[in-house]
Every structure is written in C-alpha cells, then in structure tokens.
Chain A
Amino acid sequence: MVVLSSVNFKNSKSMRNTAFGRKKAADSAPEEQQEGAKLMYEEKKNHPVKTALKIEADKLVKAFTTYPAKGFSGSKNSDFYEFLTMGIAPYLIGSGMMIGVFNLANKYFDPQGAGFASKKGRQMAAGVVLYGLFKTLSKKFIETPLNMKYGIDVNVPYRRKVDELPEERNRKNLTAYQYHKAYESVDFPYWDLFTNNKSFGKEREAYFKDVGKRMGFSDEELKYPGQKVKPLIREKLVQARAFTSLSSYLWGAIGVGIAMQKPFERFRFPNPVNGIKSLIEFVSPSSIKKGIAELKSNSAALWRTLKDTSSKRYGERVLGRLSCFIPSGTFYNATKPARNLLSDLSNGFKEFIGSDKAGVTSRIMNKVTHKSLNGINKPAAKHIAGRLLFAAAAGVTLLGNILTLTDFNKNKKDGASAAVSLIDENRRKEVC
C-alpha cells in the first residue's frame, strides 16, 4: 500500500510542484535527464577547488547582477533558486556595513578618540571575518566524517539547465544554468541523479549499493539497494543538516569571541594592493638586475665550493651555498600577513579560553593543585564563558558526529518504507 502511494506521488504533477520551482526531469529518459541536470560528482572529485570556485563565482556574480535585474523587472523566469542565491547579497553587504558602522567615522575623530574607536573597530572587523570563516569551515566537522564513512556528500552539486520562457521578442539565448545541490532538499533528494550514473559504477543503483555496503548491509540485504538505503541516507541528511546548523553558528560565535581578544586590536585586512606591489617589485627590472647579479655571485661561490672537494664538512657547505638561491625579501613579505593572522588566532584563542603557560596546562599536569584546592584558582568570568561556548560548540558537533556516524535505525527499517519521503507519519495513517 505504501509503495503504491509513493508511486502515485511520483506520477502526480500537482505534488511535484511543491519542489519550490525546481523543474525536475523525473519523467524523462536517463539521457535527457543527464542533459537537463548533471551531477558534478566527478568534477568535484577530480578538481574540488576549481569546481567550488567555479560554482561560487557563478552564484556570486549572478546574485549581484542577473538575478536582481530579473527580480526587479518582475521576470516570469525568476525562481526560488534565484531568490535563495540572492541571499548571499545581504550577507556580504551586511558584513561590510557592520565593519563600516564601527570604522567609517573613526578617521574624523580626534587622535585619542580615534585610537580607542579603531581598536574596537578592528576587533569588530576581525569578528565579522572570523564569524564567516569559522561558520563555514566548521560545517566540515560533521560533513567530512559523514562523507568519509558512508560516501554521502551533503554538498555534491549538480548543474541544472533551465529553459527560460521568452520575454522579449528577439531574445535568442533562452538557456540558463543553475548550480544546485543534489541533497539540498531532504524532502526531495534528487535520487535520479545517482541512479544509472556511470560515475558510481556500471550497475543501475551502484551508488546506493556502495553506501549500503558502507553501512554494513550484506549483498543479500541489498537486493534492492535504493529501497533499502534511501530512507537511511535521508535520515543522515536530516541529522547532518540540523547539527551543522546548530553547531556552525556556535563556532561562528567562537570566531567573534576570539576576535574580541587583544591580538586583534591591530587587525588589518591583508592589503591586496601591497601584495600586487610586492609582486611587481619582485619582477621589476631593477629587482631582476639585482637578482641576476646575485645569481651570478651565488653561482660563482657555489662553483668554488663544489670544486673544493677536499674541505671539511663538504656537504654542509654545499647545502649552505644552495640555500642562498632561495629568494628573500619581497617573497617573504607576501606571506607575512598570513603568518601574523595565524599567530593572532592562536594567541586570541588562548586568551579566549583563558589558557596560558602557567595556567590550565600546568594545573591539569599537577592534579593535586587543581583538585584539592578548587574554588580559588578561579578563571575569570569571561574565560568560563569562553570555555562554555567552546564546550557547547564542540559538544553539538560531537553529537552530530555520533548521530550521523551511527546506525541507530539500521535494523528497524525494512525495505517497504524505503520510498516514502514526503508523506508525514500522520498523513500516511490517514491515507492508508
């Protein structure tokens, strides 16, 4: 009965509408499907950075150009994907404005006032940056283990080809591309993209079989891998999504907390102009001339050293001469901001949780001091707050890990309920 109802759902056009504007090519044949929506599994696997950059750049550019233009003109081709993609605009602009609120007016203040204000302003700027950074990166804490254990990549993208309706008479190019995630909806995961996909193997449901095996099912149990595995994947998706949400904002909060520490009073955005400048300097005629002269003298010195085979510690001397060839000066300058940021981060974190050389570590090492005299060696309130926040973030992440990596429901489910994805418990009762 349940199977029938789910089949029914798949054929029902009115229900499909609820996919928030995603026109899925569920009815079409596999080849057409591949053309309309293409899973970018292999691209992501082979060129993870390139693919991510390509997708994000596409979204970013369109969020500030094409999509608002379409939205403001009230285009009939606008859809929910575009609305969601535009959501990045308030995020970025808002971050900039947030930094601006604490920094823009400072230059008009008197030196003393400006000094105080800019310290705070820099911390706020660092806070905005670290919030975003921590929030984004922390999602990997849950997503990566899930992918590693079961091969369920929450973020696997697919490219959708959209055939737009003509709005102007002479518009010829009516094709648009959108970058979705196959698992962006837990109600409607785009299963079809994984079915009959050669990237995963020759078998029709190779992907589900692989996930099923990783989940510990035997071949016998995986007679119909899709039916068996899909509901479990869906469960993992829900858990991963919920707990990345819950934990990532806490990690973001930790980013803000770290930014509010002393090292970030002198935070500056790495200046791209300086980077380019130092690059230009590096390849400027005078620098090259100097470099060639240096190269010559270094080569001569190296040659002298090489010839002098009878000298003591020959190898060491040659190595020393060779190291002279490593470019210095401008080359090192370019990496300095990154080095500074890293040291600021580590110092900020130490301040955030109130650890120092003689603090937490030594107390843990010396259990007598710590245990028998608790109550007076108190950390300050801010340190306690910092530790609590850290514990909360780590705890929620860990809980997410435990939930996503453990099969609590593995044996409870049977294949029959596999295809049920949309229908709520109560609704199913009514239907059946």
Chain B
Amino acid sequence: MPNILNSIILNMRNAEPSSFTYDAKHKTKPLKDKGKLLPSRIFGTPKEYLKDIGKDAVNIGRAAQGKSNDHELGRINDLALKLGSFAIACYLAAKTPSKAGKVMEFAGFGAFFGAMSLWPKLAIQLPLRQRTGADFMRQYVDSQGRKKTLNLDPQYDLTDMLSKKDLETAGDKMGVNKNLPDRDNFIKKRIRKTTLQANTLWMASSGFAVPVMAALGCNAAEKVVKPAVQSLEAAAARRKFLNTKFTPEAAQQEISSEMKDFAKFIEKHADGPASKVTGIIADRIDEILKETHSEELSAPMREELKKLSEGGIGKDSIGGILMRAFGEDAVSELKKKGKYKAAEALSGTKKSGADKIADIARLISGSGLEGLDEKTAAAKLTEAIAPQTSDIKGKLTEFFGAFTEYGRNKKALDAFIDAGIGEREGSFIAAKWTKFSQTLFNAMGFDAKQTKQIAQGAEGSEKLITAGIERLVSSGDYTGVIEALSKQLNEFEDALSSGIKHKDGLLAHLEQGREADKIFGRFAQRLQGSGFEGLAQKVTGALIPGEDAKSTFNVSARPAAGTLYKKYINYAEGRVLGARASMYRALQALDINKQAFDGTLQIRMEQAGAEKGIAQVLADIIRQFTLKASIVDNDGKLQTRPFELSEIIETADGRKTAGQLTVQRSLTPSEYKLMNEVLYGENASGSVENIAKKLPANEHQSFFKRIFGISDNTKKAVQNTAEGLADYRRGFMEHIINWQNSVTTKQAAYHTGSAHPDMNGILRHNYTGQNMLNMITETAKSNYNSRKWLMMFTGIMAGITALTLAAGFTFGRKDKTEEIAENGIRRGLNV
C-alpha cells in the first residue's frame, strides 16, 4: 500500500499539468448505464427463454471455476431444481410399463412447473395489475445484463425506475388524490406497499395452490393424452410385429452379435469342464425365460442342462472312457484290484463331469498303476471324453441359438399381444372395456347422488340400477345407445377376433400356420434338433415321425394340452372371450329388458301357454336372470333351471314356494304345474320331483332358446355385430346352460387344454362374462372415485383462488401520511 501511494505521489509531482485535465476518452468516468426496465407483461418471449437456458449452461462452467456471483448461483439453483425434477420424471417414466403412463410422468413434470410459474401470474399479478397498476413481477435488466425482479427486496427500492406514465396509470387506478403535492411519491409508496403485500401473498398461497393446480392440470391432460398415446402404442406394436420376419435367417442376422459373443465364450472355455459352460448358460436362460414369460420351462431346462453337464461320464460309458484313456491292460489291472467297480460307482454319482474326472483320477493314481499320478490320469481322462465334450459344445451352441431366436421372436409377439389384451391399464381391451361400460353407464343417466349410492353398494342400489335400465329402455335413445354399443363391439371384434370375417384380428395371429405357430414350432424343432426332445415336447407337444426317419414336430397340428404354446393361446382366447361375453351379455340384457318393458316378452310367454299372471312372473324372472346371473361368487347362482325343482317347499297355507333363489312369489300348485308346462313343455307331468329327474338336458336348452329370443328391433340395431351376437348366444347356451352335462370333459379339453374341473370353471366364467349389475356397479365405483377426487380438489382450488383474489382486493390502500396529506388539502392547508 505505501508503495503504491508513494508512486502515485511521485507521479503527481512529475506529471505534466495537462494530464490532470479531464479526458473523456481515457480517464475514469461513470459507467454507461446499460440497465433497463422491461415492459410489464405476463409471459416472456421464447427467444428470451432459450437465451436464458444458454446463459445457465455457461453459468455452470463459471461456477466450477468459482467465478459466479449470487445472481448466477440463484439461477443455477433454479436450473438444478428443474433438472432434478426432470430426473424424477425420467426415472418414473422408465419405471412405468405403459407408454401412456410414461408420457403422463412428463406431463406431470410439466404441469408442476407450469403451475409453479402460472399461479402467481394468474392469481396475483394479473388481477392486481388490472386493479392497481402495480406489477409485483416487473423485471429489469441491470448493468451487468442480469435479469432481476424490480420489487423483490422492499429495502432496495427501485421504484424510481418506473416511468412517469407507469406511475400516472397506477396512481389513477389506485385513486391517489390528483391534487396532492408530490403525488408521485405517494404513488411510489403505494406501489411499494402493494408489491410487498403481493410477494407475501405469493409465498402464503402458492404452497396450497401449486400442487392442487398441477394435479388438476394432469387430470385434465390425462383425458386427452392417454387415449391418443394408447392408440399410437397399439398401432406401433402391431406394425412392429407384422414387420418382424419370423424366419431363422432373419433372426440369425439380428442376433449375430450375441451369437458371436457366445461362440467366443464356447471357444474360450473349450478346454474347461462342461459343467461350467452349462452352469453359465443356465444363468442366461433364466433371463431369457423371464423376458419372454416362459418361466415354466426353467425346471425341465435345468434338468436337461444338468444331464449335459455330467459330460457324458456315466455308468454306461465309463468302461469305454477308461479303455480309451489307459488301454486294455490298465483296465484289466484295475479290475483285478477291484478299483473298476469303484470307478463305475464314482461315475454314477450326481456330481458334475469335472468333479467325476477328478475323483476317478484320484482313485486311479491311488491304485498304484505305473506312471499315473493324479494329474496325468485326469489329463488322459479328459482327452478320452473329448469327443463327447465337443458334442456337448455343438449341442449347446445349437441350444443357445434356438433360445436366442425364440427370445427375439417371442418378445415381438408378447409386445403385440400385450398391447392388445394385456392385463393392464392402457391395453386395447382395457380401453374398449372402459369405453363400453362408460357408454352404458352414461346412457342410464344416474346423477351424482345415485352414482355414490351405487358405488357404495348402499341399500336400494340394485333398484336404482333397475330404474336406470328402465329409464334407458323406455326412452327414445334406446336404439341410438344400442347402435353405439354395437359399433364399439364391432371395433372390438375387428381388432381382436379371429374368424372368417376378421382375418387380421389379434387371435387370428395365434392360429395354425400363422406367426405364433411358427415361433413356437420353430423353437420346438430346433430344441429337438439339438437333442432336447423332452423340452421340445413341453413347448408344442406331440412328436410325429418325419420323412428322414428322424422325428420332427407337426408344426401345423393343433398344439397339445398343457404345452407352452397351448397355454399361450388359452390365455389370449380367455381374455377376449371374457370381455366379449360381458359386452354381448349387456346387449342381451338391455334387449330383454326392452322386451319386458314393451310387453312383448310377456306376450311370448303367453303364446307359449302361460296364464297372464304367470307370464308376468316369468318375464320378471328372465329379466332378473339376464341382469344378475353370475358365476363369479357362486356357481349355484347360475342355475340352468331358474326353478330348482327340488327346492319347492310347501308353505303353511298349502301354497308352494318355488326356487328361493329366483322366485320371490308363492304359487299355487296349479300355477306351478302350468309354469312347468311352459318351461319344460309337454313332458311336465307327474310329481314335481319326478319331473325334475326326468327332464333331459336338451329340454332346458329349448326353454332358454324360447325365452331368450332377441327382438327384431335390437337385431336391426346390432346388425353389424349380429354374427358375433349369435356366436355369443350359442356359446352361452352350450357352455353355460349345459355345463352340468356336456361341457365337462370334451369341450373343456378343447378350449383349455385340460379336462381339469378348475379349467372348466374358468371357461364357464369366461362364457358367462360379467353380469350387467356388476358392470354398472364397477363403473359407478370408478366414476364416483374420480368424481369425488375431482370435486374435492376443484373445491379446494376454488377456495384457494377465491381467498387469494379477495386478499388482493385489500392491497394498496393508502397509509396514514397520505390521509393526513389529503385532509390537509381538504382544509386548504398546503402540507
């Protein structure tokens, strides 16, 4: 310091006088004012936004060097917040299985930051600026080019930067007395006060508002985003699947790098024991199995690999191996010494090939044969089994090839099937189901209160649904609703069905000679080719002798029950069948209800010979049956005979009560007899029990055919799907009504690949579908839940917004000094 001062003083002494004159060009002068006030606005421009991002990137570099200032560090913090949140969105997207879900995670991220920046602008800045002219988020750029907010710090007053015009506007809006001396000062004071209050309100309100606002935004976005992404996803999976070439050559090309990798691995461990190789492969195979949902092959596969890992040393082969390794003499020597039997025993153990070799080598070196220590014995043994080892390696290579090909093909198939019928939100079937049930539910016109009652299963909720159905069938909308539903069903069949009409539906791809057939068939063939016949059987089933004396698989044959392929088909068919049956069933229930409402159902009963009163009861029973009958909770509910004859009991007054489950009304014996005649035809005679026993199954069927006839009206409306409807009804008749008699073994085996009674139950379940009562209740639940949530948080949001806006109205009032000044003017004083 002293040095510098000294030199300055010296300089001053020596300096020419002219150097002290002011030279604007070279000497110290005030900095040029680069700062400027930005216009009052709600949103910045995109260009500015991009520029800011660029600045932030540079800032991080400066921060790493330790050069940043407070402003830049603040910006880095904001950037870090966004990056961290984006990282959360990325992680959650990676975790969410469905594409729509992934998109929604990013939508959530956007919604949150959107809400964070929009809330103060919309709820505070905009209304307050409108009312008072004070803009608490007004920005300026300082001399260093840093963008800052004008009124963030109440003690660092920059209100002077506001133009006269800004002040005048604000003053007029806030009603500052025009005659006040030094009016601008009072206006500035008010602006300062207002902005401080607004800042406080921002801090106080945004905690409440932002999460709710973001959630509501997400909820709204979900309704648009989800269906769009789902349909895109399904289309993409389908396209990818159809473009996949299921030839071995194509697969070979695609997996070549993996195969190369594997070949290298085999080469590297060519000298090692087979057990190591197979062990590692077993590791890999589990991964592929998991990825391709074929885990059930794991156990048989490990079994096969274990056999391989024994490396060809067994009780049967040990003799030959010893001969090759040590020669005839040595073997006879061993036999003499009794070691041959021991070697045989060792080769028969469950140990791996390498261990066996070691054991036998130890045994032989211990037997005192000349020139055979443990090491040489082991080497000779290894050499002797070399032919087997190389065979194993060849087998493994082929085995691995089969698996990689299968894995690659199956993955494409799985993606396609999953997008169509996956048991998850967002699959095609789930979306269609939701749409169908919502259309049905909305057509019944329940209000919020009724929806709540139905959702909560309150007393009388069944009546509410019945009333809703009656409302629908009696209204003029009926045909329109049926048409809408049948249109949806048509789309459903188009996308999922197989058959003459829908050649390209999802299930069609699982049929004979199509893609899935090729995938599984090819896999089985290759497995068989590499000697894993047991495994191959687990994949597609039956072996038939081929032309070249070797067995090959009959790829085009229907896969056998219990195989991997068959189970795959069953799963897919079951999913489609269940959804389809429920939808058709809803149509039929509507139709029967319509007929009952119009009276045509009763007339049909009367035509069949029932008295008027009985016809009414019958119609009622049938109506109830279509609505309620279910197999879900109790098989007993879905009786083939609505009047379970054995359950007829005599009441105290001599009347008979029929079928507690279905008929709520007492009948006289004569009434009952007539009903039986209507139901079961001419055969009904004799005692009640006898009739029940005598009735053959086909009588039940004819009864149902008679009573479940579809009306011409509905038939016309569902013309497009008539084929499907007929199909459904046939299935319903055959598999539900006759389940006690015929479906048990033969048909169940056909459809499920197993005659197991449980499988039969699943089949019946799928054919029955969900009854309409349940469908409506489920829909009501989901609607009630979303509505409840929406109402709750819309209410909260409205409350927060109202409070915030109301608080804004109290801001910017005049203070005491202004009042005093105003009073002064009023009194004619010049304050």
Give me the interface of A with B, judged by CB distance under 8 Å.
3-4, 17-18, 20-21, 67-68, 71-76, 78-80, 83, 86-87, 89-94, 96-98, 100-101, 104-105, 108-110, 112-113, 117, 185-187, 234-239, 241-243, 245-246, 248-250, 252-253, 256-257, 260, 368-369, 372-378, 381-382, 384-386, 389, 392, 399, 403, 409, 424, 427, 430-431
Q: CB distance B87 to A92 under 8 Å?
A: no
Q: A93-B208, A104-B792, A373-B280 are in contact. Are A386 and B91 (CB under 8 A)?
A: yes
Known A-B contacts A94-B206, A242-B76, A373-B280; the reply to A71 vs B81 at CB < 8 A is no
**Roughly how many angstroms separate A248 CA and B76 CA in the complex, as a whole number?**
12
In contact, A427 and B144 (Cβ under 8 angstroms): yes
Minimum CB–CB distance from A252 to chain B (whole Å) comes to 6
List residues 49-108 of chain B with CB under 8 A from any CB of chain A. 60, 63-70, 73, 76-77, 80-81, 83-85, 87-88, 90-92, 94-95
Chain B residues whose CB sits within 8 angstroms of the CB of A253 once the complex forms: 84-85, 87-88, 91
Report, nearest first, the 7 A-B pairs whose CB atoms are least far apart. A249-B84, A93-B207, A71-B200, A235-B66, A242-B63, A21-B155, A385-B94
Q: A110-B455, A378-B287 are in contact. Are A249 and B210 (CB under 8 A)?
A: no
Q: Is B750 an interface residue (CB 8 A)?
A: no
Known contacts A68-B203, A246-B80; A372 and B153 CB within 8 A of each other: no
Across the interface, B199 reaches (CB within 8 A) one of A71, A104, A185, A382, namely A71
Q: Do A80 and B152 form a contact, CB below 8 Å, given A376-B288, A377-B284?
A: yes
Q: How far is the CA of A18 from the CA of B203 in the complex (A)?
A: 23
User: Is the Cβ of A97 less than 8 Å from the Cβ of B73?
Assistant: no
How close is B715's CB to chain A, nearest CB, in angstroms?
A: 37
Distance of A298 Cα from B201 Cα, bound (Å): 63
How far is it, in angstroms, between the C-alpha of A239 and the C-alpha of B65 when the chains are bound? 7
Shortest C-beta distance, A351 to chain B (Å), equals: 10
Residue of A nearest to B88 (CB): A253
On chain B, the residues within 8 Å of A403 by CB distance are 64, 66
B264 at the interface (CB under 8 A from A): yes
Query: Which of B616-624, B741-749, B781-789 is near enough to bind chain A?
Result: B781-789
- Chain A residues near B788 (CB, 8 Å)? 105, 108-109
**Given that A101-B211, A253-B85, A427-B31 are known contacts, is A245 also in contact with B204, CB under 8 Å in the complex?**
no
For residue A134, give the distance in angstroms from its CB to the closest CB of chain B. 10
Q: B793 to chain A: which residues have CB within 8 Å?
A: 101, 105
Which residue of chain B has the shortest Cβ distance to A97 in the bound complex? Answer: B211
Q: Which residues of B contact A242 (CB under 8 A)?
A: 60, 63-64, 68, 73, 76
Asked if B303 lies at the interface with its beta carbon under 8 angstroms from chain A, I say no
- In the assembled complex, 17 residue pairs joining A and B whose CB atoms fall closer than 8 Å, in A order, are A68-B203, A74-B194, A78-B200, A83-B153, A89-B207, A90-B210, A94-B210, A104-B792, A237-B66, A239-B66, A242-B68, A249-B85, A256-B92, A372-B264, A372-B268, A375-B257, A399-B64
- Does B215 make an interface contact (CB < 8 A)? yes
Asked whether, in the complex, the Cβ of A382 is within 8 Å of the Cβ of B94, the reply is: yes
Chain B's closest residue to A88 (CB) is: B203
B:234-266 near A, CB below 8 Å: 257-258, 261-262, 264-265
Contact A20 B85 (CB under 8 A): no
Given the complex, which residues of B lie within 8 Å of A105, measured CB to CB? 785, 788-789, 792-793
In the complex, which residues of chain A have a beta carbon less than 8 angstroms from the beta carbon of B156?
A: 17-18, 20-21, 80
Closest CB in chain A relative to B35 CB, distance in Å: 12
In the complex with contacts A21-B156, A238-B66, A86-B207 CB distance below 8 A: no
B16 within 8 A of A: no
CB closest chain-A residue, reference B207? A93
Q: Quote the shortest CB–CB distance from B73 to chain A (angstroms).
A: 5
Q: Are A238 and B785 in contact (CB under 8 A)?
A: no
Q: In the complex the two chains form, is A431's CB within 8 Å of B28's CB?
A: yes
Docked pose: A252 CA to B155 CA in angstroms: 34
For the complex, give the distance between the alpha carbons of A104 and B155 in Å.
Answer: 41
Instruction: Note all chain A residues with C-beta closer than 8 A to B90.
Output: 385, 389
Among candidates B31, B197, B284, residue contacting A430 with C-beta atoms closer than 8 Å: B31
Which of these, A73, A100, A372, contacts B261 with CB under 8 Å?
Answer: A372
Specify which chain B residues have a CB less than 8 angstroms from the CB of A71 in the assembled complex.
Answer: 196-197, 199-200, 203
Chain A residues lying within 8 Å of B262, measured Cβ to Cβ, are 373
Given A90-B206, A97-B207, A392-B87, decide whether A78 and B782 contact each other with a Cβ distance below 8 A.
no
Interface pair A3/B284, CB less than 8 Å apart: no
A165 to B788, CA, bound (A): 51
Q: Least Cβ distance of B137 to chain A in Å?
A: 13
B196 touches A74 (CB 8 A): yes
Nearest-Cβ distance from residue A69 to partner chain B, whole angstroms: 9
The residue of chain A having its C-beta at the shortest distance from the C-beta of B144 within the complex is A424
Quick check: B76 and A246 within 8 Å, CB to CB?
yes
State the Cβ distance, A199 to closest chain B Cβ, in Å.
26
* Complex contacts, B192 vs chain A, CB 8 Å: 74
| Residue contact B152 to A113, C-beta cutoff 8 Å | no
Residues of B within 8 A of A375 (CB): 257-258, 261
By a CB distance below 8 angstroms, the chain B residues around A4 are 4
B87 touches A80 (CB 8 A): no
Within the assembled complex, what's the spacing in Å between the Cα atoms of A101 and B83?
Answer: 23
Q: Once the chains bind, are A250 and B265 in contact (CB under 8 Å)?
A: no
Q: How far is the CA of A239 from the CA of B257 in the complex (A)?
A: 45
CB pair B80 A245 closer than 8 Å:
yes
Partner of B207, one of A92, A112, A257: A92
In the complex, the answer to whether A80 meets B155 with C-beta atoms within 8 Å is yes
Q: Which residues of B contact A98 (CB under 8 A)?
A: 211
Q: Which of B770-790 contact A (CB under 8 A)?
A: 781-782, 784-785, 788-789
Complex contact B204–A382 (CB within 8 A): no
Given A105-B789, A238-B63, A403-B64; A384-B94 close (CB under 8 Å) = yes
CB distance from B95 to the nearest CB of A (A): 4
- Chain B residues with Cβ below 8 Å from A252 are 84
- B755 on interface, CB distance cutoff 8 Å: no
Determine the distance from Cα of A33 to Cα of B84 in the docked complex, in whole angstroms.
41
Cβ of B577 to closest chain A Cβ, rounded Å: 24
**A-side contacts of B80, CB under 8 Å:** 245-246, 248-250
Q: Please, which residues of chain B bring their CB within 8 A of the CB of A409?
A: 65-66
Interface residue? B212 (CB, 8 A): yes
B1 at interface by CB-CB < 8 Å: yes
Do B280 and A83 touch (CB < 8 A)?
Answer: no
Closest to B812 in A: A74
Whole-angstrom distance between the alpha carbons of A378 and B407 in the complex? Answer: 13
> Quick check: A89 and B153 within 8 Å, CB to CB?
no
Told that A71-B197, A100-B211, A108-B788 touch, could you supply 8 new A-B pairs with CB distance under 8 A?
Answer: A80-B155, A90-B206, A94-B207, A96-B207, A98-B211, A242-B60, A386-B94, A392-B87
A372 to B267, CA, bound (A): 11
Given contacts A90-B207, A257-B88, A373-B284, contact A3 B4 (CB under 8 A): yes
Contact A110 B87 (CB under 8 A): no
CB closest residue in chain A, given B95: A382
Task: Check if B712 is an interface residue, CB within 8 A of chain A.
Answer: no
Residues of A close to B208: CB separation below 8 A = 93-94, 97
Asked if B154 is at the interface of the complex by the 8 Å CB criterion, the answer is: yes
Residues of chain A with a CB closer than 8 A to B84's CB:
248-250, 252-253
Please give, as numbers and ranges, the residues of chain A lying within 8 Å of B522 by CB-CB distance.
none
Could you say which residues of chain B place their CB within 8 Å of the CB of A112?
Answer: 781
